[in-house]
């Protein structure tokens, strides 16, 4: 099975992300928008594995306190098959520490993770061909600055069901109570 760890969003944050997604897709052709139920912030991509117990154990060993996450900005990754459009998050030392800690727990259990620097973003659409009138500012205005408390990290399964990409939470770890 294909696994990754993630932060899932509240409905209010998804509302802002969907406004931004719709705005950027409206300025593109051939964009494949991310379905609302699939919006998430990836912490670590594990990939194909049958070691579900080890992945759950890694997440179970994680210790973290809740913190506030805020959306911020819109960007584009260029690729040969079109662009990936994304929403960013405001710089957060707590997010950086959480990502590093959960990646460390996975690596302790022998999972091979990407070595590039963590770049937190939420994929809004793939395969996009932005028009010359693409207005990043308008997309950022649509997104706004949505905030939420991060109180849980999720282990997710990624699979195709009836031709659709479906992400399913299969395990989660709650934040430690704040002092």
Kindly report the average pLDDT of the chain as a whole number. Answer: 95
**Residue 159's pLDDT is what?**
96
Confidence class for position 179, pLDDT limits 50, 70, 90: low
Calculate what percentage of the chain has a pLDDT beyond 70. 99
pLDDT of residue 139: 87
pTM of the model: 0.94
With 80 as the cut, is the pLDDT of residue 178 above it? no
Quick check: helix, strand or coil at residue 70? strand
Assess contact for 102 and 155: CB atoms under 8 A. no
Give me the domains of the chain, ranges plus CATH numbers.
2-173 (3.90.1140.10)
What is the DSSP track for 127-174? EEEE-TT--HHHHHHHH---EEEE-EEEEEEEEEETTEEEEEEEEEEE
Contacts of 90 (CB under 8 A, 6+ apart): 69, 70, 71, 72, 145
Query: Is the model's pLDDT at 143 over the cut of 70?
Result: yes
pLDDT band at 142 (very low <50, low <70, confident <90, very high): confident
User: What is the average per-residue pLDDT within 14-33?
Assistant: 94
CB burial readout 58-82, b (16+ within 10 A) else e: bbeebebeebebbbbbbbbeeeeeb
In the predicted model, is pLDDT for residue 13 greater than 80? yes
* 53-105 confidence digits (pLDDT tens): 999 999 999 999 999 999 999 999 998 889 999 999 999 999 999 999 999 99
């Amino acid at each position: 099975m294909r696994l990754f760890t993630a932060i899932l969003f509240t409905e209010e944050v998804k509302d802002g992300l969907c406004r931004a997604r719709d705005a950027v897709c409206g300025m593109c052709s051939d964009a494949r928008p991310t379905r609302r139920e699939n919006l998430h912030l990836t912490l670590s991509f594990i990939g194909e594995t049958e070691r579900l117990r080890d992945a759950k154990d890694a997440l179970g060993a994680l210790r973290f306190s809740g913190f506030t996450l805020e959306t911020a900005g819109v960007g584009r990754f260029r690729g040969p098959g079109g662009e990936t459009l994304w929403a960013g998050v405001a710089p957060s030392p707590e997010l950086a520490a959480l990502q590093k800690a959960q990646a460390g727990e996975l690596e302790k259990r022998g999972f091979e993770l990407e070595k590039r620097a963590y770049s937190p973003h939420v994929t809004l659409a793939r395969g996009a061909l932005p028009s010359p009138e693409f207005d990043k500012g308008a997309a950022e205005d649509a997104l706004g600055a949505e905030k939420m408390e991060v109180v849980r990290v999720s282990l997710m399964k990624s699979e195709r069901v009836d031709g659709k990409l479906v992400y399913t939470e299969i395990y989660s770890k709650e934040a430690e109570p704040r002092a």
